[in-house]
Amino acid sequence: MLHIQKKNNNNNNNNNKKKKTKKKTKKKKKKTKNKKKKTKKKKKKKTKKTKKKKKKTRKKKKKKTKKKNKRKKKKKKKTKKKKKKKKKKKTKKKKKKTKKKKKKKTKKKKKTKKEKTKKKKKTMKKKKKTMKKKKTMEKKKKKKKTIKKKKNTMKKKTMKKAMKMKKKTMKKKKTMKKKKKKKTMKKKTMKKAMMKKAMKKKTMEKKKKTMKKKAMKKKTMKKAMKKKKRTMKKKNEGVMVPVRVLWYQ
């Protein structure tokens, strides 16, 4: 749709352009008349009137009357401070910069084959020495690492053994504590049982004693009753017993 719309717009524009070209005609030149120049009137400048300003009169302050002291004070003379003179700054003379002379480059002499071979041999020797030192240092480091590893492994093993021993000892201690507790509990229970038995014995003895006392009381009561019966029998048989004589007999 957009494509079609663009096409239509282009067509319309083209048609308009064609129409414009058709209408073009030669314009007639107008005759120029000699026009008179108008003279502008100069405007008069307005003069501003200046107003006279009134002078403000200041009010005079009243002087305060001070009470005079009977004892007059001596006035001290004021001493003027001396002004310090400013020191002039000394100007340092600038040193002229001297340009450094460039050193002339000396041409290197070409070395002979013998000298070159000697230098190569020296460098090779140095390299070999450095390599040997590096290898020895690496070997020492490896040895140290292996020793450290061994020590660490030994420490770990010893720590494990120590932990196992600790666990065993802790278990033994716990079992011993349990056994001791059981023994103490048994002893306490046995003591309690013995105490109960002893208390029972004491109570039984007390009961026996009370029973004996009651039996003795009964026996004495029986004896007394027997005695009373005997006396009553004797009275009934004709034994002289004092009798109260009444007044009407």
Is residue 30 within a helix (H) or strand (E), and if so which, with residue range? none
**Residue 213 and residue 136: Cα distance in Å, rounded?**
113
Higher pLDDT, 129 or 115: 129
- Helix (H) / strand (E) element for 160: namely helix 113-237
CA atoms of 214 and 206, how far apart (whole Å): 12
pTM strictly above 0.85: no
What average pLDDT does this structure show over 89-96? 70
Task: Tell me the pLDDT band of 111, cut-offs 50, 70 and 90.
Answer: confident
Closest CA to 154 of 142, 166, 162, 165: 162
Q: Is the pLDDT of residue 249 over 70?
A: no
pLDDT tens digits along 134-190: 999 999 999 999 999 999 999 999 999 999 999 999 999 999 999 999 999 999 999
Q: Return the exposure string of 49-81: e unless at least 16 CB atoms fall within 10 Å of the residue's CB, then b.
A: eeeeeeeeeeeeeeeeeeeeeeeeeeeeeeeee
Using alpha carbons only, what angle is made at residue 9 by residues 7 and 15, rounded to the nearest 5 degrees? 105
Residue that the structure tokens 């278990």 belong to: 171
Tell whether the model's pLDDT for residue 235 goes beyond 60.
Answer: yes
With 60 as the cut, is the pLDDT of residue 234 above it?
Answer: yes
